[in-house]
Amino acid sequence: MATSMNCTRWLVFTLYILFLTLFLSVISLANAADDIVFQSGNQQKLNVGVAKARRFLLYDVNPGEGFNLRRDVYMRMANLVGALGETEDWTLVLPPWGRIYHWQNRHLDQVRIPWSTFFDVPSLNRHIPVIELEEYIKIRGKPEIDQILYLQSYKEGWSNGKFEEKVDERDCIDRPMYQKDSDGLYRGWFWGYEDVYAKAFKCVSIQGFTTTIAPVLINNITATSVFLDRGEELLHDSYGQVDYWNARRSMRFAKHLTDIGDDFRRGFLNSDDKRDKTEVTEDWRDMRRDPGSATGGPYIAVHLRRQDYARGGRKDVPTLQAAAEHVEGLLKKLKLKIVFLATDAPKREIDEFKKYLSNFKVVNYVPPKVVLEKYMDGGVAIIDQWICAHARYFIGTGVSTFTFRINEERQILGFDPKMTYNRFCGHAEEPDCEQPSAWKIVY
């Protein structure tokens, strides 16, 4: 009887030890869940536990980048989330707009601006899952980000002058914008939300594409939310291909802004979608237009970037007189009499441009006070782009992302590339300077 009881006790004790060992192992893995271990040459070491059911990707861009470059970085992040979504449940958190250099109306409080002010968020959701930052905070129950990955280039540059995909945890090259407070939490600029904080921070050197970081997010990190700062460090994985165009086509402008643009077209440019053959479907996925199917309104649209371009003395920037003379030639060639001007030029330069074209009607959109205060500089820029996108002929400014986004919009609407991909030749260039390359939509 004693022997049988001792065996039973020994069996219970053994099972207890096994259970305790297993429990401590799980705790150890949980504590190490957010540790990231990188090895050079894109060889990442797995050192994590089981990932959460739903995960969130946040991102931001170098503060000096403009509105339209930020739109391009969105497309990269959207397709990164699309790739991550093939393995796990990821949602992209849209970074609020604000503090953009080109927004000159400093009297406006242009921070913490939700994406719905400028874009059709349900349309974005037809491509990948997205939510606004404030919705993310409500879901998490607190203004908390689990992990910041501050992306940077390699201090030593390319190895042997060759580009290769790689990612490594490194010391920060520049002084981080985030500092640890007395509670061990990281504080810094989080889109103007002073209560937002992060629990962990690391600098990561990366050289590659959105797919380069994807294995790190899947295999090396179990944090529920990951914030990629300096998102522009990641290159497009499939530039100009199906995923690129799906992301771009999903970026429809907010209807309240396109309605303002359409009203202006009807009132000042004798232009509407039915006559111009620029009608759109409710869902971007159902819309495919043949190049040349759109005719556009009876006007030429001009994007003439001045300000920093003109001050910098760039050789690809035309003088106002040269630009006006070129537009006059186009008007005569196309037998048109109206010009729509989108520009960041001061009023005196706009007046000068109009004076050179005094035999024609030149109009530009000047927002009423209520529109400017409600939709701010970003909304006014979108109205300008929308009007330019519907012109019979468009000519823009070389290497300007504002111009390039208009090019894409016109491609989507079905304009002939020859009526779309045009730019002014600069004061130090030949009159027959190289024109922009046309990018065909891939469905």
d(CA 143, CA 134): 9
Q: Which residue has the tokens 């024109």?
A: 435
164, with CB counted inside 10 A (0-12, 13-18, 19+), is exposed
pLDDT of residue 14: 45
Predicted model pTM: 0.87
Q: Which residue has the higher pLDDT, 48 or 435?
A: 435
Flag whether pLDDT at 62 surpasses 80.
Answer: yes
Mean pLDDT across 61-90: 96
**What is the mean pLDDT of the segment spanning 196-222?**
96
Q: Which of 65, 233, 408, 409 is labelled catalytic?
A: 65
CA quadruple 157, 230, 150, 137: dihedral, nearest 10: -170
Give the mean model confidence (pLDDT) for residues 4-12: 44
pLDDT at 332 over 60: yes
pLDDT score, position 162: 81
Q: Which of 34-38, 131-135, 238-242 tops mean pLDDT?
A: 131-135
Say what the pLDDT of residue 135 is.
Answer: 98
Tell whether the model's pLDDT for residue 99 goes beyond 50: yes
Beta strands in 188-282 (DSSP E): 197-198, 201-207, 225-229
Give me the chain's average pLDDT, please.
89
Residue 10 or 346, more confident? 346
Distance CA 241, CA 59 (A): 23
pLDDT, tens only, 365-379 = 999 999 999 999 999
- Our answer to whether residue 409 is catalytic in this structure is no
CB 339 within 8 A of CB 304: no
- One-letter amino acid identity for 371? V
Residue 25: predicted pLDDT:
43
What gap in Å lies between CA 254 and CA 256, rounded to an integer? 6
